[in-house]
Amino acid sequence: MTVIPHGLSNGGFVRDLSDTLCVDAIPLDRIAAEVGTPAYVYNARAMRLAYRTLETALAALPITVCYAVKANANLAVIRIFRDLGAGADVVSVGEMRRALAAGVPAERIVFSGVGKTDAELAAAVDAGIGQVNVESSGELKRLNALAEVRQRRVEIALRVNPDVDAGTLKEITTGTADDKFGIAIDRVPAVFELAAKLPGVSLRGVAVHIGSQIVDLQPYHNAYRRIADLVHQLRDEGHIIDHVDLGGGLAIPYDREPRVDATAFAAVVRETLGALGCRMTIEPGRYLVGSAGVMLARVVEWKEDLARPFLILDAGMNDLMRPALYKAYHPIVAVHGDTGDVTVDVDVVGPICESTDRFARGRAMPRLKAGSLVAIGAAGAYGAALSSEYNSRPLVPEVLVDGSRVAVVRKRPSFEEMVGLESLPPWMEDSPAADRPPTAELPEPDRAAE
């Protein structure tokens, strides 16, 4: 039986007796035959298991888990966590509407994000969102004005930038002085002073998020210590602080790194923030969904016409961006394990006209024939969510497996659907709109919160 890398086994991907990779008991070749490739496949049970592991570890603390929708925004995925009692962390009005559409109650939604527009803030106020995490004094004033007009008082927290390096990839670090996020910790007291005078907001909390895929707990320790000191200082200055938002960032195994130990993380929270008597929120994304997804792809060619061999897949960087964007490692395995023991170091690439369209460099792979299936593991977070239609490739469909049940939870768009929002201008010959009278002026762009 071929060994399954940790990054896949952690999500419940196993080999059956014929050495075929399965999700739960469903062989992935069956899904590929029905849905085609590329396709994302998610394991609902693995998502629930990750949620329960975290929930159990945090049980002694007054914490609400708000699933970070950005990691995987599929409605069915959001619904899985809603059914387990989670709230949602959203960063755009689109994500807010997804969370609401999946049935998350508005009061369990936290709206984060560094550049919320007036339309988005207004939509959040109108929807009765539980908390807005404000990231600048400008945003604070704009939100206050919007709430005042509506005669509302919005619960907010201030996102603090603690200037702590999360020790993760530079591209996904968010809590250092070099990053655009939050308010510098030494400036936070002044913004609290300002907020105390604003009738449209109720500021009683602080939020912090230092980065993503954090393997080592020490940066959390450092950041939460600073937050605890800040809360003491703010209380000394007369402010009431009863809420701390811990952010997300918990790591999963991609290569050899361990899955972050949720119990050890809980101990860090208890040690640094436990004595404050605050209720807390945590915003995990990747930890809940990352391991629970693979992207299925088919081999187009094993190419040997260059100095080194290339394994060309029908999936590209537009479908899974992380290797191109961050040089991120993802495990890649043959779905049918009966390929013998001989491996070749090969570059695994996609069909996109970009040299960064590479999933792995010099990876030991069996010599796979055209038409063979491969699974790229640990693709449940920031996989489909980051995908695009570059090279006019329709977005990859998403399939959810829940025990013996299988459903397509996002279908592959047809060509017509992909180009359906485009049209030729009326002055172009053969345009269906050519006989319409020319418009004198451009219409006002629709800035409504759609």
The answer to the question of residue 250 lying near ligand LLP (CB under 6 A) is: yes
The binder of ligand LLP chosen from 95, 135, 163, 283 (CB under 6 A):
283
Window of 72-80, 243-251, 292-300, 399-407 that interacts with ligand LLP by CB under 6 A: 243-251
Task: Report, in Å, the least distance between residue 424 CB and ligand LLP.
Answer: 35
> What is the C-alpha separation between 232 and 202, in angstroms, rounded?
19
Q: φ and ψ at 161, to 5 degrees?
A: -100, 105
**Hey, what are 38's tokens?**
């590329």
The answer to the question of residue 209 lying near ligand LLP (CB under 6 A) is: yes
The answer to the question of residue 87 lying near ligand LLP (CB under 6 A) is: no
Task: Report, in Å, the least distance between residue 249 CB and ligand LLP.
Answer: 4
The binder of ligand LLP chosen from 15, 98, 298, 322 (CB under 6 A):
322
The binder of ligand LLP chosen from 22, 72, 89, 253 (CB under 6 A):
89
Helix (H) / strand (E) containing 127:
helix 118-127
The answer to the question of residue 112 lying near ligand LLP (CB under 6 A) is: yes
The answer to the question of residue 144 lying near ligand LLP (CB under 6 A) is: no
CB 159 within 8 A of CB 243: no
The binder of ligand LLP chosen from 43, 74, 213, 387 (CB under 6 A):
213
Listed in sequence order, the residues at least 6 apart from 433 whose beta carbon sits closer than 8 Å to its beta carbon are 423, 424, 425, 426
> What is the C-alpha separation between 61 and 224, in angstroms, rounded?
15
- 9: amino acid identity, one letter: S
The answer to the question of residue 337 lying near ligand LLP (CB under 6 A) is: no
**Hey, what are 438's tokens?**
């020319």
> What is the C-alpha separation between 396 and 313, in angstroms, rounded?
14
The answer to the question of residue 212 lying near ligand LLP (CB under 6 A) is: yes
Window of 21-29, 241-249, 273-281, 305-313 that interacts with ligand LLP by CB under 6 A: 241-249
> What is the C-alpha separation between 98 and 102, in angstroms, rounded?
6
> What is the C-alpha separation between 378 and 6, in angstroms, rounded?
9
Task: Report, in Å, the least distance between residue 54 CB and ligand LLP.
Answer: 11
Which residue in the block uniquely carries the two structure tokens 């080592």?
Answer: 216
Scan residues 51-70 and list those touching ligand LLP (CB under 6 A).
68, 70
CB 229 within 8 A of CB 193: no
Q: How far is CA 62 from the centre of its chain?
A: 24
DSSP-based helix, strand, coil % in the chain, nearest 5: 30, 25, 45
The answer to the question of residue 285 lying near ligand LLP (CB under 6 A) is: yes
Of 236, 180, 248, nearest in space to 210 by CA: 248
List the catalytic residue out of 22, 66, 278, 353.
353
Task: Report, in Å, the least distance between residue 174 CB and ligand LLP.
Answer: 6
Window of 119-127, 137-145, 280-288, 310-318 that interacts with ligand LLP by CB under 6 A: 280-288
Nearer to ligand LLP, 243 or 286 (CB): 286
The binder of ligand LLP chosen from 175, 200, 249, 253 (CB under 6 A):
249
**How many chain residues interact with ligand LLP (CB under 6 A)?**
22
Window of 139-147, 245-253, 308-316, 417-425 that interacts with ligand LLP by CB under 6 A: 245-253
> What is the C-alpha separation between 181 and 176, in angstroms, rounded?
8
The answer to the question of residue 358 lying near ligand LLP (CB under 6 A) is: no
> What is the C-alpha separation between 283 and 449, in angstroms, rounded?
24
Q: Which 8-state DSSP code applies to residue 187?
A: G
To the query of whether residue 353 is one of the catalytic residues in this protein, the response is yes
Task: Report, in Å, the least distance between residue 415 CB and ligand LLP.
Answer: 28
Q: Rounded to whole angstroms, what are the CA distances from 215 to 7, 212, 320?
A: 14, 9, 22
> What is the C-alpha separation between 324 and 355, in angstroms, rounded?
9
Nearer to ligand LLP, 15 or 51 (CB): 51
The binder of ligand LLP chosen from 162, 175, 182, 247 (CB under 6 A):
247
Scan residues 148-167 and list those touching ligand LLP (CB under 6 A).
none
Question: What is the rounded (10 degree) CA torsion for 352, 353, 359, 362?
Answer: 140
> What is the C-alpha separation between 32 and 13, in angstroms, rounded?
15
Scan residues 369-408 and list those touching ligand LLP (CB under 6 A).
381-382
Residues contributing to the site for ligand LLP (CB under 6 A): 68, 70-71, 89, 112, 172, 174, 209, 212-213, 247-250, 283-287, 322, 381-382
Catalytic residue numbers, as ranges:
353
